[in-house]
Structure 1
């Protein structure tokens, strides 16, 4: 039985999915399942996946279609169906690095009985450059929030135990919105577990102009309740005073955008929220300017 599920949320990515698939075919260890969550694609994603399922790949390919709901809802669907011990997300425009599955398997076998939530590894761009910063040479374990609080930077590849990722609540869904930051689950897990550090590149990434990273200013306006929820969670588990204040300002701004008049009452940091409200209005004006509204 496979030890790892590699899941890929996909929305109209038939033009990039083949390179993801080719990177899986090239793995020297095929002890994994590839689960594609089609988030309401209108291109030929389904045709592509069904064609690959009919081939001899050396690994199982699973395909689930759902109505479009955003990245976080695709993750919810994935977690409902994963049965392997570990799982990791490889986006539909990314590639699994050569030998990544072998590296994950070897690293996990050496720490699987030590109570970790999983592994944290490196992402690189297609030219091999580490995204953000690497890991300090002596870092053996960390929480995700602890890594960034201590000066870390850039997206990292997270490989979680499936029982752990499912031990915290699913991402909430807000009517009319399609974004809740994935870090919500990771923040809750940080309160109970650490991650073992795998100082290897396991994913090669390319950020698309129409992806969530490239459209963030518009996302703030289109998904204010989702962002307010995320900031409220972060305010309950601050990693620094500076981060707490920034999250509170964003919470005020998102609440103002959503026209939530109860946001001070609902805040876990009521006094700070009162103090940050003027800065929230300034941030709201800046977001609207950046989004050309």
Structure 2
């Protein structure tokens, strides 16, 4: 690809002190059968030798690498900063510690290109596998389908971490004009606060039963989000994730009572951990039925908080 041409895919990798795992991603990208992509590395204030490592990557790469370093904002905002820079038709958020099948980009690109009415869609999601090649969680039903994340998780009960490619124009429309400054300095924020919103609007995702990521657990890595997201400093984000779910789907959740109750209690539990007042906890959900259920369930959330 000519350096002046716009690539078809931008690979966004947020990273923080991950110089020890970034070579894994680099090696996966070097082996990709699909070559029309750019790697955008968003350095979230690393204090290790990430910057010098990127220069080594550039010297040994046949694809374009852009590198941006900024003060630490945590993954959610760093990913958003990267997405806002994307000008390619598609983009992917590739973690700084995973590996990918050699045909991952080719599979996802070809699947996305088969979608004719792309304005109605935002993503193509495939499967993840562990280090032994076993599918993480469940396969999608019906050999894959077009629909919503809510259906996928709660109607079809598909579990496990998934991975895919996003249609940039659709994604940009969903984040345009939104103020995410509330999340500045708040630690881990789940990407679901964005996914819930667009999914509830009826923006479709295509789910395909093809492995497009190897999900690797670095259990000894103190900087891994997988190992830190449940710690005390991230309770604000956990609260926001549950609230986003409730406020995005609202009455749609009446068809999924277990999910509704679990997220009401989850929101209230983390809200109590954040020392949010009772009155604010009750009025934060926007739907009247959910507020009423919240009042009835609050004693259980309070007791759960005390026990935990």
Normalised by the length of structure 1, the TM-score is: 0.90
**1:17 matches 2:22:** yes
Instruction: Report the equivalent of 2:268.
Output: 252
SS in 2 for 1:152: coil
Q: More helix by proportion, 1 or 2?
A: 2
Instruction: Report the equivalent of 1:240.
Output: 256
Distance in 2 (CA, whole Å) between partners of 1:216 and 1:281 is: 22
What does 1:36-51 correspond to in 2, within 5 Å?
36-51=41-56
The unaligned stretches of length 5 or more in structure 1 are: 288-293
The answer to whether the 8 A contact 2:74-2:185 is kept is no
RMSD: 1.9
The answer to whether the 8 A contact 2:12-2:40 is kept is yes
1:3 to 1, 8, 12: 8
Instruction: Report the equivalent of 1:274.
Output: 295
1:180 to 185, 189, 199: 189
The unaligned stretches of length 5 or more in structure 2 are: 1-5
Q: Which moved more, 1:63-72 or 1:232-241?
A: 232-241
Instruction: Report the equivalent of 1:106.
Output: 110
The answer to whether the 8 A contact 1:165-1:185 is kept is no
Sort the Cα spacing of 1:49 and 1:286 in 2 relative to 1 into closer, same or farther, 3 A.
farther
Instruction: Report the equivalent of 2:100.
Output: 96
Normalised by the length of structure 2, the TM-score is: 0.86
What does 1:59-70 correspond to in 2, within 5 Å?
59-70=63-74
2:213 to 185, 203, 207: 203
Query: For residues 49-97 of structure 1, what are the alpha-carbon distances to aligned partners after superposition, in whole Å with 9 as ceiling and x for unaligned?
Result: 1221233x23211111121121101111111111111111111110121
Distance in 1 (CA, whole Å) between partners of 2:238 and 2:197 is: 16
Instruction: Report the equivalent of 1:155.
Output: 161
Q: CA deviation at 1:175?
A: 5.2
The answer to whether the 8 A contact 2:125-2:208 is kept is yes
**1:225 matches 2:241:** no
SS in 2 for 1:105: helix
Distance in 2 (CA, whole Å) between partners of 1:217 and 1:118 is: 27
The answer to whether the 8 A contact 2:128-2:214 is kept is yes
**1:124 matches 2:129:** yes
The answer to whether the 8 A contact 1:164-1:189 is kept is no
